[in-house]
Amino acid sequence: MFVKKLLYFSYEKFLEKGVKKGEMPTHLGLILDGNRRYAKEMGYDDVTMGHKLGANKLDDVLQWCADLGIKIITIWVFSTENIQRDKEEVEALLKVIQEKIEELAKSPVIKKNGFRIKALGKIDTLPEELKAAIKSTEESTQTYTNHMLNIAIGYGGREEIVEAVKKAVKEKKVSTIDELANSITLEDITSHLYTNGIPDPDLIIRTSGEIRLSGFLLWQSAYSEFYFCDALWPVFRKIDFLRAIRSYQHRNRRFGQ
């Protein structure tokens, strides 16, 4: 066991040394997948335990990002589709998210590294206690400027785009449908997204082995790089993280050119 830990530690340091020589993503997106599967694999009767363990993992990952100088992190914790799950599971998951958001406001990782926290999604549809926790945490971190942590909650990529188009249309002063259609630009939509003013993600990592975005930052990810990791989120290791960054650094980003 000691030899195995020593080899792991040595390999981790080797990876980290190499990664630090390369260019870092400015904006990293994370799809935190695999909490329920992990709970079932570990034999827990209540899958909420997987969500709690997943919430604990976030602190480590934020510190890894800060250590590498990654400025913006967007995590997806609850989608608009998740509401269709069993009512008791949804309520338990939202409670875990609420407790984590409250914890983040006092977290040494957040304070030490200066993470400003912002929630993205249909916040008005969330339970009152959760909305209050989000507001309080956003306000308590609003002066931090070193890093940004976006929490996508009650979020769906298609819904975000539809909402942005509706807002853009309402601002137009035109006489006909044709004029309206011809007046809509990329910037009109971009300026009404939840991420307005935030650079698009350079790299998106999804854990659990699933190879799809499931609607995460659909508009913003047009030229993002993707990395799909087999590890379930609660057991996502620093080695997994560093491998993802290394893979990103080895790619030739052409942005469609």
Average pLDDT of the residues in 97-123: 97
Q: Is 56 left (phi over 0), alpha (psi -120 to 50) or beta?
A: alpha
Q: Which residues are catalytic?
A: 33, 82
pLDDT at 213: 95
Average pLDDT of the residues in 109-131: 97
- The residue with greater pLDDT, 137 or 86, is 137
- Say if domain 30-249 classifies as CATH 3.40.1180.10: yes
Residue 27 has pLDDT above 70, yes or no: yes
What percent of the chain is predicted at pLDDT more than 70? Answer: 99
Model confidence band, residue 158 (pLDDT cutoffs 50, 70, 90)? very high
Residue 166 has pLDDT above 70, yes or no: yes
pLDDT at 65: 98
pLDDT at 33: 96
Model confidence band, residue 8 (pLDDT cutoffs 50, 70, 90)? confident
Query: What are 56-88's pLDDT values in tens digits?
Result: 999 999 999 999 999 999 999 999 988 888 889
Residue 29 has pLDDT above 90, yes or no: yes
Pairing of strands 115-120, 27-31: unpaired
The pair of three-digit structure tokens given for residue 173, joined into one six-digit string: 């002063």
Q: Cα separation of 37 and 177, whole Å?
A: 48
Contact (CB, 8 A) for 67 and 50: no
* Average pLDDT along the chain: 95
* CA diameter of the chain: 75
pLDDT at 257: 63
The pTM score is: 0.95
pLDDT at 2: 72
Model confidence band, residue 23 (pLDDT cutoffs 50, 70, 90)? very high
The pair of three-digit structure tokens given for residue 116, joined into one six-digit string: 């400003």
Contact (CB, 8 A) for 137 and 117: yes
Residue 133 has pLDDT above 90, yes or no: yes
Q: Cα separation of 194 and 203, whole Å?
A: 18
Q: What are phi and psi of 82, to 5 degrees?
A: -60, -25
Q: Where are the domains of the chain?
A: 30-249
Burial of residue 108, with CB atoms counted within 10 A of its CB: 0-12 exposed, 13-18 middle, 19 or more buried: exposed
Model confidence band, residue 237 (pLDDT cutoffs 50, 70, 90)? very high
What percent of the chain is predicted at pLDDT more than 90? Answer: 89
Average pLDDT of the residues in 36-60: 95
Q: Cα separation of 96 and 114, whole Å?
A: 23
Q: Give the 3-state secondary structure of the chain.
A: CHHHHHHHHHHHHHHHHHHCCCCCCCEEEEECCCHHHHHHHCCCCCCHHHHHHHHHHHHHHHHHHHHHCCCEEEEEEEECCHHHCCHHHHHHHHHHHHHHHHHHCCCHHHHHHCEEEEEECCHHHCCHHHHHHHHHHHHHCCCCCCEEEEEEEEECHHHHHHHHHHHHHHHCCCCCHHHHHHHCCHHHHHCCCCCCCCCCCCEEEECCCCCCCCCCCCCCCCCCEEEECCCCHHHCCHHHHHHHHHHHHCCCCCCCC
Average pLDDT of the residues in 91-112: 97
Query: What are 181-216's pLDDT values in tens digits?
Result: 999 999 999 999 999 999 999 999 999 999 999 999
Give the orientation angle of helix 48-68 with respect to helix 87-104, to 10 degrees.
30
